[in-house]
Structure 1
Amino acid sequence: MNVYLSKLSEGDAEELFQFESINRAFFEQMIPSRGDLYYEYETFYSYHLQLLEEQKNEQCLFYLMRNTDSHIVGRVNLIDLDEEGMMSIGYRIGELFIGKGMATEAVRLIIEKAAAHPKVKRISGKTTENNIPSQKVLERNGFILTAADEDNFYTNDRGESFRFVQYILDVEGHK
């Protein structure tokens, strides 16, 4: 496939900041904003170091999606491993790379990593109801739709409100 995962490292900060900044408006059409401070390099770098600290004990796993030229095309993460073996997945792919199967492949690859982790049993995912491509990525990787929030929780900069939809995947079937 045309994408591979690389574990997040300190040396990725500048390239990742550029990727996030370039794609900000695109991302904020579908998901809540990370806020203006996130897009100031000093703040971004501080957050980056916090993620690396969280990753040390494998309670969270942060990966970059890279294309065959080794450029960042997206991110995929598993966070917040709990006592029951549940983690939450999150991912984003840059606007220039949508529709090429990269997000689907990256999610498949991170499921493999989760299946190799001795404590991970299930992965939860959520996206907004309007983000059909993200829903398809989850469904193509075996996630099952389990719920839709009853209330609107997210409003984008155009004043549109959306509900979140929830998914779950049993990792045991991938081990």
Structure 2
Amino acid sequence: MNTLSVRKLEKTDTEALLTFEIRNREWFESQIDARAPSFYSLQGVTDHIECYLSGFATGTWHPFVIEDAIEGIVGRANLKDINSPKGCAEVGYRVDQRFCGQGLATLALKHLIQEAQTHWNLTQLVAHVYKNNIGSRKVLERCGFLIEHESWIDNTKDECRLILSI
């Protein structure tokens, strides 16, 4: 694996992000909710980035990309629904299928935890994961997230909620 870095999403990431999302669309849709078809265009990704950066400016989002020195964007990670007064946010991440099993999701999640503490002074992070997404659940648990018992035993739900107190 080449040198990896995690950095804030930028307006200049449109083409690279579109490439990443298209390349992994089928894989992501098998693991998480599908995006609208209109997302998969330069305008769709431009609008998406502008929305996320606007959320960063207002303190409700902190979007990141994971870059490989040669491959470009190979992952994404976000703090979302940041609620500074309550000290909480939700985490989300996605990793290029070709890079799964190489520690990128763990790297991304540890970065989110660090940013939640140092940049936002948060005390709790929440994650939602589909029950069949075992890899993501293992990453969350490896980073200290605990399954919220009530959400796991509800057999009518397809996802469970995990929480990390920081």
Q: Same fold (TM over 0.5)?
A: yes
Query: Structure 1 regions of 5+ residues with no counterpart?
Result: 153-162
TM-score by length of 1: 0.86
- Once the two structures are TM-superposed, the CA of residue 70 in structure 1 deviates from its matched residue by 6.5
Q: 1:56 to 1:26 in 2, by over 3 A?
A: same
Query: Within the alignment, does 1:151 sit opposite 2:156 as a pair?
Result: yes
Question: Which segment is superposed worse, 36-45 or 91-100?
Answer: 36-45
Q: 1:21 to 1:57 in 2, by over 3 A?
A: same
Question: Which segment is superposed worse, 64-73 or 14-23?
Answer: 64-73
Q: Deviations over 1:6-42 (max 9, x none)?
A: 1011011110011001100010111110121111221
Give the number of the structure with larger relative contact order, counting CA–CA contacts within 8 Å between residues 6 or more apart. 1
Q: What code does the residue aligned with 1:85 have?
A: G
> Where has structure 1 moved over 4 Å in runs of 4 or more?
none
The aligned length equals 161
Q: 1:29 to 1:56 in 2, by over 3 A?
A: same
Instruction: Answer yes or no: is the 8 Å Cα contact 2:81–2:90 preserved in 1.
Output: yes
Partner SS for 1:81: strand
TM-score by length of 2: 0.90
Query: Within the alignment, does 1:99 sit opposite 2:101 as a pair?
Result: yes
Q: Deviations over 1:46-82 (max 9, x none)?
A: 1211111111133210000112437211100001112
Cross-structure match for 1:170: 165
Q: What code does the residue aligned with 1:14 have?
A: E
- Once the two structures are TM-superposed, the CA of residue 113 in structure 1 deviates from its matched residue by 1.1
Instruction: Answer yes or no: is the 8 Å Cα contact 1:4–1:106 preserved in 2.
Output: no
